[in-house]
Amino acid sequence: MIKEILKNIFSKKRVIPFPEGFNVSPTQVAKIVDFQKKVDTIFGRSLRIRQIDAGSCNACEWECTALTNPIYDIQRFGIDFVASPRHADMLLVTGPVSRQMEFALKRTTIATPEPRLVVACGDCAKDGGIYKGSYAVANGVGNVIPVDAVIPGCPPTPTAIILALSEIIDKVAR
Amino acid sequence: MEKIRKKSVKTWEHLNESYFEVRTDDFKDACRHLYEDLHAILRVMFACDEREKDGLFRIYTVFDLPGIDRFIIVVLPIQESDPSFPSLTQTIPAAHWYEREISDMFGLSAQGHPDKRRLVFHEAFPADSHPLRKDWSMSETDKQEWGDGSTIKVPHPFMEVSGEGIVEIPVGPVHAGIIEPGHFRFSAIGETIFFLEPRLFYTHKGTEKHFETLGFPEGVKLAERVSGTSSFAHGAAYCMAVERMLGLAITEKASAVRTLVLELERIYNHIGDIGNMCAGTALNLGYMKGAVIKEQLMQLNEILTGSRYLRGLNVVGGVTKDVFDQADDILKTLDGATREYKALMELLLGSVSHVERLENTGKLSKDIARKLGVTGVAARASGLTDDLRKSHPHLLYDRLIFEAHTHEKGDVLARMLIRAEETECSLSMIQALLESGYKGDLIVPLRAAPPFASAMGYVETPRGSLIYWVMSDKEGKPLRVKLRSPSYCNWPAVPFAVHGNIVPDFPLCNKSFNLSYSGTDM
């Protein structure tokens, strides 16, 4: 393991701006550079997200986890996922909101200090998705707590989440 | 077997499923005979509301005999006027969740069950309301109150451990990391966990009922969204059940595609899990390396199917795309991934601090694993040879050479090693699959479903055996879709595995099982 660590210390590689596998077009690249500036200025290089699973199938969660892997490395923008809602600027809610999670979701929202952004992530969070109409779901986050923005996709890919976040922040800036 | 045949009032067969309908008095004895004398495993137990057919509810108890490719299904008819059945839990502990679930969903009570509490529904769900009954409905106010969660309609006390020095630690349902919701109540003595009671079903979405509102072909989409990381396996098992019910035989080509993609799904899950276990021991380098390999494999998934979770490939009757056309992409990615994976394993097994944390942690004994009907990686790590690919060869598994690896120790390390061995096995299986050619169309045309036909579908997912059972109504629409994900069997084993471990090791134990909440809660 020491070999690995030394190799990383002495290698000339610096932070990779757009790593391999980051499937984006040049306009999107420009957007992301702009995005980084906005995170820097508006959120003081620190946008903290609390992810809440309100009945998702776990695919959206894994995409959020993938954001923190070395390929997407969302931390380089100053964005990170936090453990406590009290530390969060943004709630990223996934899932159609199952009835048995509704109460916990409301409580977590109250525990998040204002001003806070609430983002519904995924098709289920948008309007219930495939689960729309089932007796045990609330058909989307918007029916339970006020939502500021929606990220569509089933699940939205990590790239899509980053691009959507950049747009959301753009809206906040204006 | 003859003993059961003699006692049954009606028997029928469908492919490798043998149904034996018995009287209430013989039910317990028939099941006990299968479990104790013939060493059968209880695979799944569920009820079905067949009142529109002959005015009866039926309970299906699916047993799996070791060494034979045959499912023995003991069927118990139940009159609406007497909604109860004898509980099997005292003889077959694996039945304990199934029976509570049947009582929640159908209002058929298990006589003699040691735990009278509800399983699926929390306190705010109204009493005497059973969603899977065909004539069930729920008022808007009840729904509202259920969501608010503030009114206690049926109390659900946690089991309490009292005594000097016992501390209760409640955790969840919203956890610190990016994971699914569930509540854990630890009773600890100092740092040592004495007792753990998980409370799940926070993500209960009424999936089984929702299947009934969709048609059979549309159900695939829902099946793929039951458990994110086993999307393809769920789709494949559902399709298999429907195809078997319709009497459709899919082509060799479609079988080959499904087998190949199932193995791809297994690899990305296993490597991801091995990496995630490093997060439990604070070995961040291993965690990140695992995440990178997983990401590469997920990107391969996207190239192959357009979805990182392999969604949209399965349809009833076959598959939508021939992934063998992209054999070069698969080989190229797997080549790189294999190299990195080998380096990762060398790193992990060479790290004394990592291996030390895994060894003797979260031990699950063979006896408990068998009694609780544990499946998949967890079962094989505890010395049980439980692999549907071997015991019930489906798709092209009978043509492939592979082993059902087992370890005896049942600790976290054993579960990691099983995953590592299976990954290597899957890699060689994919190589073997890509080397030969397969004939046939991708999709065979659908047929209309005959009335009241039923069949099982099963697949070995990365987590273990997954079972679907479908039945059509008189118009050929879904009357019942039962799904039993492997996590459902394995959750009750987690409290036994963590008993005697320290609280900080719980995340590690939990990660070594890597159970799906959504798949369990349905």
Task: State the smallest CA–CA distance between residue A98 and chain B in angstroms.
Answer: 6
Burial of B170 (0-12, 13-18, 19+ CB in 10 A): exposed
Measured in angstroms, the CA of B9 and the nearest CA of chain A are apart by: 37
| Minimal C-alpha gap between A81 and chain B (Å) | 8
Partners of residue B227 in chain A, C-beta under 8 Å:
57-58
CATH number of B2-133: 3.30.460.80
Q: Which residue of B has its CA nearest to A71?
A: B292
Six-digit token string for B71: 């499912």
Q: How confident is the model at residue A21 (pLDDT cuts 50, 70, 90)?
A: low
Residue A15 has pLDDT above 50, yes or no: no
Question: For an interface test with B, which of A49, A62, A80, A100 has the most B Cβ atoms less than 10 Å from its Cβ?
Answer: A100
Comparing CA positions, the residue from B262, B209, B204 lying closest to residue B231 is B262
Question: Which residues, in sequence order, are CB contacts of B407 under 8 Å at separation 6+?
Answer: B380, B381, B382, B383, B414, B417, B418
Return the DSSP state at B326: G
Set of chain A residues whose Cβ sits within 8 Å of the Cβ of B207 = 131, 134
- The rounded distance, in Å, linking the Cα atoms of B271 and B277 is 10
Q: Which of A65, A138, A154 sits opposite B147 (nearest CB)?
A: A138
For the sheet with B454-461, list strands across it.
Answer: B454-461, B464-472, B478-484
- The better pLDDT of the pair A159, B481 is held by B481
Arithmetic mean of pLDDT, A67-94 = 88
Residue B20 CA, chain-centre distance (Å), reads 24
Alpha helices in B190-251 (DSSP H): 207-213, 219-223, 231-246
B240: which 2 tokens? 């298999």
Q: Looking at chain A, which residue has its C-alpha nearest residue B520?
A: A57
List of chain B residues whose C-beta atoms are within 8 Å of the C-beta of residue A124: 225
User: Per-residue DSSP letters for A66-99?
Assistant: HHTSTTT-GGGGTEEE-S-GGG-SEEEEESS-BH
pLDDT < 50 stretches in chain B: none
Q: Where are the domains positioned within chain A? A: 25-173
pLDDT value for B257: 92
All residues of chain A having their beta carbon less than 8 Å from the beta carbon of residue B221 are 130
Q: Name residue B84's beta-bridge partners.
A: B109
- Asked if A137 and B295 come within 8 Å (Cβ–Cβ), the reply is no
> How many beta-carbon pairs under 8 angstroms link A with B?
157
Give chain B positions within 8 Å (CB) of A100.
121-122, 146, 149, 201-204
B contact test, residue of A130, A137, A145, A162 with most B CBs within 10 A: A130
* Level-2 CATH architecture, domain B207-483: Orthogonal Bundle (1.10)
pLDDT in tens, B492-517: 999 999 999 999 999 999 999 989 99
Q: How far apart are CA B4 and CA B453, in angstroms?
A: 23
Of B179, B205, B288, the CB nearest to A134: B205
CATH number assigned to the domain with residue range A25-173, chosen from the 4 options 3.40.50.12280, 3.20.10.10, 3.30.390.30, 1.10.540.10: 3.40.50.12280
- What count of other Cβ atoms lies within 10 Å of the Cβ of residue B330? 20
Give the residue extent of every domain in chain B.
2-133, 207-483
Chain segment B194-218, per-residue pLDDT in tens: 999 999 999 999 999 999 998 899 9
3-state DSSP call for residue A171? Answer: helix
Contacts of A111 in chain B (CB under 8 A): none
ipTM of this predicted structure: 0.89
Contact call for residues B433 and B418 (beta carbons, < 8 A)? no
- Hey, what are B398's tokens? 């009978």
Q: What is the pLDDT of residue A16?
A: 46
